[in-house]
Structure 1
Amino acid sequence: MLDPDRCRVARLSRDARFDGRFFVGVTTTGIYCRPICPARPPRDDNVRYFPSAVSAAQAGFRPCLRCRPDSAPDSPAWHGNHTTLRRALRLIDEGALSQASLGALCERLGIGERYLRLLFQQHLGVSPKAYALHRQCLFAKQLLHQSALPVADIAYASGFTSLRRFNDAFRRQVGHAPRELRRTPGPPSQDLTLTLAYRPPYAWEWLRDFLAERRIDTLEWEDERHYGRYIQWGAARGHFTAKHLPERSCFRVTLTLDDLGALSPVVRNIRRVLDLDADTTLIEAQLQKMLPEAFPLVEGLRLPGLWSPFEAGVRAVLGQQVSVSAAQRHTTRLVEALGEPTAEGGHHFPTAARIAASDLTFLRMPQARRDCLRGLAQAECEQRLEDDPRCWTTLKGIGPWSADYAALRGTSHPDIWLGGDLGVKRALAALDTLEPDLAAPWRSYLTLQLWSR
């Protein structure tokens, strides 16, 4: 349960660290807001607090048009502490319920419909379909505010197959017709520009330098305030560039995609790659308790995500027993040799099918490592790879370090401890004692703090 006194102090102070951790419903207006809303604060007896935007909407409140709750960072409370729930949320965010039935989703999860509904009621207070519909409508609202896309294209990009159903659902969820929220449209453009918020602080310089050291020139680009890359999601192809705006606690993302049906999961994945939903204040408070007082934490440290678990696995194999610069050279050769060329002269990351079909003799490495890469790619082609890369150790040549590295960067798993990593070992040597288990469930962030030493 939310503590009303703490929520009251947070909303009156408009503390950005609480943005997305709870939402404020105003009974006199029927509107729900973020705690950082610039509107005049309502009286305490006219306020209700909710742990998530969807729970506020289900209680009959509609989103504020000033602070736009759809743009708030997600609260960790949404994910709960159950692995099945986390996987269900990820699949729904990728469009599982807009493309198939609840029964099909449960079959993928290996559980019954009744149990899934129970998980959602316990952790979110809503049904899976209500959660999915609310997420679709909030994403559509974001596109209505921030893009010049036609309403029909927004409906498709949000996972609706019928414009009429989109209009009905949007009116029920948001309280307005889609065209009522339509900003004055500009000229049609192939590029979309979206604003993705986070909770400060955000250690952008550290993340930028980490990514720059491992950058593949024909795949990625970065400078003082930008990071971008070519991307693929199923059959969709495109690219994005994210510009850091620290004064607004957000990234402005310019995105080009040739299939708008993949837009919602692509935007969700960009959020994951940049680790925009982490509550680093909470994480670092726990890490500081188990680290020596003299240990300087990097405030706002984020997980440096890669676009997919498969790409992270390939990079992990290429980085086995070599330096970061050597791993970068291997990956560059792989991308330039097997990556799909782009119209701009770059390359997409190679598909599993192209890696599996190649003899990889252009890579200067032991044959056993080439065989490991081909085995990983073949398993991906045959859909034999588990969702959790930590299970990939059954594949020949994939050890615990490679599997954990793929989980940390490919799925942004928050609780990966790379105790066998050389950089971590060096940092540990300078500390008297350290019990990594005390950092759970944030051991990935502990690993990064030690890498930053």
Structure 2
Amino acid sequence: MSSSLTLAPDQCRRARLARDARFDGCFFVGVVTTGIYCRPICPAKAPLERNVRYFDTAFAAAEAGFRPCLRCRPDSAPGSPAWRGTDTTLRRALRLIDEGALTDGNMTQLAERLGIGERHLRGLFQRRFGVSPKAYALHRQCLFAKQLLHETQLPITEIAFASGFSSVRRFNDTFHSRIGLSPREVRRQQKTHDTPGIELKLSYRPPYAWETLRDFYAQRSIEGMEWVGDHYLGRHFQWGSASGKFTAYFDEPGPNNEPSQRHGRHAMRVELTLDDLRQLAPVVANIRRVLDLDADPEVIATVIEPTIERSSIEGLPKPSLVSGLRLPGIWSPFEARIRAILGQQVSIIAARRLTQTLVNTLGEPASDGGRHFPTPSAIAQDDLAFLGMPQRRRQTLKDLATAIMNQQDSESIPGIGPWTRDYARLRGDSDPDVWLPGDAGVKRALKQLPCVDPESATPWRSYLLLQLWNLDHEHQAR
């Protein structure tokens, strides 16, 4: 038994025997008799309990000498917020590593970005995982490479660079030592696909409130930059010097217009194009964040539902909550801040119109005729006179863009108040614990639930906020 296991052994046993998808990615199962570790939803015959060991992470299972199952593919499981812990610095370090901080940089640079010493950073990882940050990063690179070997037709050489390795030889050696198979052995067991480009399956834990998320994006989508349909959403994006676009599909209609799971059970099918494959791993990690695929809705519900139920007015029907709400992410913190400023003290329709004008005027053209969101340089160097808004607010946009360009602090810029900062954190950083007490929709919803205590919803106040927005939307529609 893993000494750092978060869940009780009996919980793990029941979840794996039931193949409960709600626990997918929350723990992993090592099978002593085969030397393989699996997801709790693995379709293979369940091993006897005496032959099983449980681990919080795929990384811990690999460090214990187990190699990943080729049927359930632990590399594709959703991430678990639980094993990331409550340490803000550790969570941010993991996110930066997933975005390639140790691929493009080194330990010293990562520690500086976190505002801590290198020794402290090593200590965080040693206490939580028993290994160094670099060992963790290498394992993540190998799991991502394994996913690409399974799901794409990319040549092995391109996969090596796309997963962050500087040479094919280094990739082959590291992959074999950590996965237990060579890249070619994994590729030989892959089924061939005729789909051009990159197509990946990104898992999540059910339930997933797709319709609510889709409608949120649809109300705010920018023509030419974003697209939303009944069963899909996507956008153009830039990541560093790379450009691309993605479309995520959920529950496409079947032959009789009935929902199907063409993309696989509890997974988004994501089609992706990118002009620099070296940025593929951080781009995919950001898509997961934007779609909030690593949320654990069951855990969040145990905190949010009692908070709202305690606040219900006696004698009135209890409000209906949406199961599986997800944070509607924006591609970057910079874009989230700009869009938050454009949305200050105006309606959603007016904010969308302003954003559309900004993108049409300053956004760089995409290869297919669409547009990217404007860069900080484009906004900083323009007078923004084409925006029908007060000069003071236009100056706030320029000041923010200039600060981002010069890597300066942007928190104290005039015109960026608490609502703007927190809304941008909610959508640009996908912070799970944001509360907007001054938001108009929240105020209206609280009239129905006057006794809501947001502190009781910590660390999931962002999801409480979404529930209140949804209740307000339903109330306004009646």
TM-score range, shorter chain: over 0.9
2:240 paired with 1:216: no
Residue from 6, 27, 37 that aligns with 2:11: 6
What does the per-residue CA deviation read over 1:165-219, in whole Å, with 9 as the maximum and x for residues that have no partner? 1000000111000011112555794x20000000000000000000000010111
Distance (Å, rounded) in 1 between the aligned partners of 2:294 and 2:70: 22
2:381 paired with 1:357: yes
Deviation of 1:121 after TM superposition, in Å, equals: 2.2
Correspondence 1:419-430 to 2 at 5 A: 419-430=437-448
Correspondence 1:246-265 to 2 at 5 A: 247=261, 248-265=265-282
Deviation of 1:139 after TM superposition, in Å, equals: 0.2
2:132 paired with 1:127: yes
Residue of structure 2 in register with 1:54 after alignment: 59
Using the size of structure 2 for normalisation, the TM-score is 0.91
Distance (Å, rounded) in 2 between the aligned partners of 1:103 and 1:349: 32
Deviation of 1:251 after TM superposition, in Å, equals: 0.6
Distance (Å, rounded) in 2 between the aligned partners of 1:101 and 1:441: 31
Distance (Å, rounded) in 1 between the aligned partners of 2:121 and 2:339: 35
Distance (Å, rounded) in 2 between the aligned partners of 1:107 and 1:448: 34
2:93 paired with 1:88: yes
Query: Aligned AA for 2:335?
Result: E
Residue of structure 2 in register with 1:273 after alignment: 290
2:461 paired with 1:438: no
Residue of structure 1 in register with 2:169 after alignment: 164
Residue of structure 1 in register with 2:315 after alignment: none
2:193 paired with 1:198: no
Correspondence 1:242-391 to 2 at 5 A: 242-245=248-251, 247=261, 248-292=265-309, 294-385=318-409
Residue from 92, 98, 105 that aligns with 2:110: 105
What does the per-residue CA deviation read over 1:324-379, in whole Å, with 9 as the maximum and x for residues that have no partner? 00000000000000000123221000000000000000000100000000001001
2:429 paired with 1:411: yes
On the 8 A contact 1:197/1:249 being kept in 2, the answer is yes
2:169 paired with 1:148: no
Query: Aligned AA for 1:225?
Result: H
Distance (Å, rounded) in 2 between the aligned partners of 1:241 and 1:92: 24
Residue of structure 1 in register with 2:44 after alignment: 39
User: What is the CA RMSD across the aligned residues, in angstroms?
Assistant: 1.3
Deviation of 1:99 after TM superposition, in Å, equals: 2.0
- Partner SS state of residue 181, structure 1: helix
Distance (Å, rounded) in 1 between the aligned partners of 2:449 and 2:11: 36
Deviation of 1:24 after TM superposition, in Å, equals: 0.2
Distance (Å, rounded) in 2 between the aligned partners of 1:437 and 1:122: 29
Distance (Å, rounded) in 1 between the aligned partners of 2:437 and 2:113: 33
Query: Aligned AA for 2:413?
Result: L
Structure 1 gap segments, 5+ residues each: 386-391
Distance (Å, rounded) in 2 between the aligned partners of 1:50 and 1:188: 35
Distance (Å, rounded) in 1 between the aligned partners of 2:87 and 2:193: 44
- Partner SS state of residue 198, structure 2: strand
The worse-fitting range, judged by mean Cα deviation, of 175-184 and 136-145 is 175-184
Deviation of 1:158 after TM superposition, in Å, equals: 0.3
- Partner SS state of residue 194, structure 1: strand
- Partner SS state of residue 141, structure 1: helix
Distance (Å, rounded) in 2 between the aligned partners of 1:142 and 1:114: 32
Distance (Å, rounded) in 2 between the aligned partners of 1:56 and 1:233: 32
On the 8 A contact 2:308/2:449 being kept in 1, the answer is no
Distance (Å, rounded) in 1 between the aligned partners of 2:78 and 2:193: 27
| TM-aligned CA distance change 1:62 to 1:97, over 3 Å | same
Distance (Å, rounded) in 2 between the aligned partners of 1:77 and 1:131: 17
Distance (Å, rounded) in 2 between the aligned partners of 1:349 and 1:299: 32
Length, aligned pairs only: 446
Structure 2 gap segments, 5+ residues each: 252-259, 313-317, 472-478
- Partner SS state of residue 317, structure 1: helix
What does the per-residue CA deviation read over 1:399-430, in whole Å, with 9 as the maximum and x for residues that have no partner? 00000000000010000001111001000011
| TM-aligned CA distance change 1:406 to 1:296, over 3 Å | same
The worse-fitting range, judged by mean Cα deviation, of 175-184 and 61-70 is 175-184
Distance (Å, rounded) in 1 between the aligned partners of 2:433 and 2:444: 20
Structure 1: which 4+ aligned runs deviate by more than 3 Å?
Answer: 184-189
Distance (Å, rounded) in 2 between the aligned partners of 1:287 and 1:339: 39
Query: Aligned AA for 1:205?
Result: E
What does the per-residue CA deviation read over 1:261-305, in whole Å, with 9 as the maximum and x for residues that have no partner? 100000000000000000011101111111126122100000000
On the 8 A contact 1:78/1:124 being kept in 2, the answer is no
- Partner SS state of residue 452, structure 1: helix
Query: Aligned AA for 2:401?
Result: A
Deviation of 1:113 after TM superposition, in Å, equals: 2.4
Distance (Å, rounded) in 2 between the aligned partners of 1:447 and 1:372: 26
Deviation of 1:250 after TM superposition, in Å, equals: 1.1
2:121 paired with 1:116: yes
On the 8 A contact 1:149/1:188 being kept in 2, the answer is no
The worse-fitting range, judged by mean Cα deviation, of 126-135 and 289-298 is 289-298
